[in-house]
Structure 1
Amino acid sequence: MSEQPRPVGSRLGRRNDPDRRDRIIDACLEVIAHSGVTGTSHRKVAARACVPLGAMTYYFDGMDDLLQAALTRFATGISDRFERRMAGASDADGAREAVAAIILDDVFGDDRELVLSHELYTLAARDPAYRSITTAWMERSRAALERHFDPETARLLDALIEGLSIHRALDSRTRDPHEVRTAIARITAS
């Protein structure tokens, strides 16, 4: 007697949870934001995602595979928002204001994203596999900036955005929004 083929999207004849992998990735980002990369474990992520611990190895080859998927999703999401902001600018003044919004609203506005960014930076400083994530992120950022600025100015603005995010994360003083706009004006002055 021949075995019947399994329906698509099933494992052992049962329907898989089609969103499970995505929930695991999102849960991993939440665990990283709360506990850092070093405090992230399969057990914590599975509990956060409300999935059995065994699901972790079904969807990911190990913690490194999960971390790469999660941090790639994070960097891609940031890049998507960055591109939308820059695409919405119709002239140089609008582009300067978009850069200010990226810094003041997107980067400074969310402590979770600051933590995730710095966790990714730390991994990228040590491991080329994670550096490829940050490299792709920077390339997309500069390409979005180059819609309005020459390549050198785009690179300087990208460094300003990253640098100010580091200062924001590590400085206990509140940053003046005027300082951000002044820096953007100086970098983009012709």
Structure 2
Amino acid sequence: MRRLDPERRDRIIAAATDSIAQEGVSGTSHRKVAVRADVPLGSMTYHFSSMDDLLTEVFTAFAATISTEFEARMAAAETPAAALDQIVDLIHSDLQRSKREHVLTYELYTLAARRADFRSITEQWMQASRAALERHFEPDVARALDAYIEGTALHIALDTRPQNRELTRAALHALTNSSSIHERSKIAS
């Protein structure tokens, strides 16, 4: 008789996410995920035809969660100045809260850099981030801000010397008040 387990698929995704966070994509296998999820190995292929299918589910869900949180931050800001405050908090708080999130983010980036089929996940994530930023800033500025957020978060995570919040605020202020971003994008078009 077949065991009823309606949450099995979700457990597999959660177990795969944990495995990637601890061992990376290269250290994650169907067998390891099945053990973590406490499911028969055959369940893996029933729910996910390949490891790529499972990785797609894991990273799509992860990116959607982060995008939703970012959208909520930008929606809460009523002015561009408040949006900048939200971005400073995001960089120095949200993006630094968890080594797990860093690992998952950079595992996804590495996978997307190597394989075009995973690039659609990062592309959707970037589009969602830029759309959230465009609530308060012109598209070219939003794109520059998005790149700054990602780069600064990486530097803060890996640098042994902490970055001052005021330096972040000053850099964001310079980016948002620079007419050269918009002018250069017009020239390039």
Distance 2:157 2:52 in 1: 25
Match of 2:100 in 1: 112
Gaps of 5+ in 1: 1-11
Counterpart selection for 1:37 from 22, 25, 47:
25
Counterpart selection for 1:136 from 124, 145, 151:
124
- Contact 1:114/1:165 (8 A) holds in 2: no
- Name which one, 1 or 2, has greater alpha-carbon Rg: 1
Matched positions, count: 178
- What RMSD, in angstroms, separates the aligned Cα atoms of the two structures? 1.4
Distance 2:72 2:126 in 1: 15
Distance 1:24 1:101 in 2: 33
- Contact 1:124/1:134 (8 A) holds in 2: yes
**Equivalent position amino acid for 2:94 in 1:** D
TM-score using structure 1 length: 0.89
Asked if residue 189 in structure 1 is aligned to residue 164 in structure 2, the reply is no
TM-score using structure 2 length: 0.89
Distance 2:51 2:84 in 1: 40
Gaps of 5+ in 2: 179-189
Off by >4 Å, runs of 4+ in structure 1: none
Q: Give the 3-state SS of the residue equivalent to 1:175 in structure 2.
A: coil
Distance 1:49 1:189 in 2: 50
Asked if residue 28 in structure 1 is aligned to residue 16 in structure 2, the reply is yes
- Contact 1:23/1:49 (8 A) holds in 2: yes
Counterpart selection for 2:112 from 124, 139, 145:
124
Distance 1:56 1:19 in 2: 13
